Amino acid sequence: MEYRNLIAGDWVAAGAGVPNVNPSDISDILGHAAQAGEAELDAAIAAAHDAAPGWAASTPQQRFDVLDFIGTELLARRDELGHLLAREEGKTLPEGVGEVARAGQIFKFFAGEALRQTGDILPSVRPGIGVEVTRGPVGVVGLITPWNFPIAIPAWKVAPALAHGNAVVLKPAELVPGCAHALAEIISRSGLPAGVFNLVLGRGSQLGPQLIADPRVNAISFTGSVPTGRGIAGECGARMKKVQLEMGGKNPMVVLDDADLDIAVEACLNGAFFSTGQRCTASSRLIVTEGIHDRFVAALTERMQALRVGHALEAGTQIGPVVDARQLDQDLDYVRIAREEGGEVIGGVRLERPTEGFFMAPALVTGTTADMRINREEVFGPVASVLRVADYDEALAAANDTEFGLSAGICTQSLKHATHFKAHSQAGMVMVNLPTAGVDYHVPFGGTKGSSFGSREQGRHAAEFYTTVKTAYTGA
């Protein structure tokens, strides 16, 4: 399979094809991805720039029809595309199918949003004057997406961009060209005018700076690492360019003495280890009060060690491989560092399986302190640390003791503590008796502090980024 760039409605090959490797079986090559260079990216931006005025003038019905077509096909092909996703990125097959279904639902939601364009008609404070407040598209939007949700995250950026009348240049992560190509192929048959959506494949370090610097690109939405995000923020700020960033997390899950133990263990098991822990909303810090600590650690350890780690497409697999060798090395390095700093590590070793892949046993690090690197830095793998605290007040302080603020959770049967935590947790999303990972597509997604910058993604709040507000005055 050859994955090509989609530029101005044409499939364009470029550069030496880079192999797309299955992390469950490195002998399995899914295909080869074209590598866009400066010329291809320039052509994609030019195509979007030329197509933007026409799409901005499209009717709500035209936008609905396009987005509804995409959503309908994604839902109809969820099993096929979920298989591709699991093979390419390493999620288990059920997780891959679920992600494709979510992408379809996102496009369906924003098809509806295209019909729900709203504004305000107001009387002026001056006599004889009318005021209209409307929203219009930003123009050309550059979208830079990560590898861990290779269909869902592009969907939640592309869908609102198109729904609100923008033209798009999508630059997906180089590890997952297959999913991006499959989505682009569906979009290419949706009735969207050529040039409104463009796909460029290649390394972010090469294409990102050009995409950000080009004056024809009016806004950048990025999901990825903190260092890259901070760099993008600086570049966009210097150019007065609209920017939206979703970055890292070091998400706390508080477990209080009064928690239902089974609920707490299942929430932490899911949040910390499912999707191989490769979620920015993963529960990486488990903050547990003294009265339940030992029982919780024993129960979670038993459940964690029983998880089946294996080939993403194999029936019964609960945890798939880490995405690639570089990420696996990073995960194992953090396990080593945690042990050297005094933590007790359960699991966290590389595993051998019938196929050669990047398999790792989930790791639980106990006996940690707040200053350890395992409690300060994002690992982005199946690794969770446990921090013992005295009571709720200490737990809340520990939960907020981080430069990040994406998601936070608490397991408790106390309405008082749950209510207080929701109000005082310094996170953009708060879960009570639920995993920190796992969100709905029709409500805002985003965090505080170092996790996010700019307006929220998803739901109706997506309009804040993908539109500009115009106020018009008319004299009688």
Catalytic residue list: 246, 280
Angstrom distance (rounded) from CA 281 to CA 408? 8
Residue 192: partners with Cβ closer than 8 Å, 6 or more residues away: 55, 66, 162
The sheet with strand 129-137 has its strands ordered as 120-123, 129-137, 467-475
Tell me how far apart the alpha carbons of residues 21 and 357 are, in angstroms, rounded to a whole number. Answer: 10
Burial class (CB in 10 A: 0-12, 13-18, 19+), 349: exposed
| β-bridge partners, 25 | 22
What is the Cα–Cα distance from 4 to 122, expressed in whole angstroms? 49
User: SS3 of 164, please?
Assistant: coil
Query: Is the CB of residue 439 less than 8 Å from the CB of residue 445?
Result: yes
Phi, psi of 75 (to 5 degrees): -65, -40
- How many angstroms separate the CA atoms of 317 and 310, rounded? 6
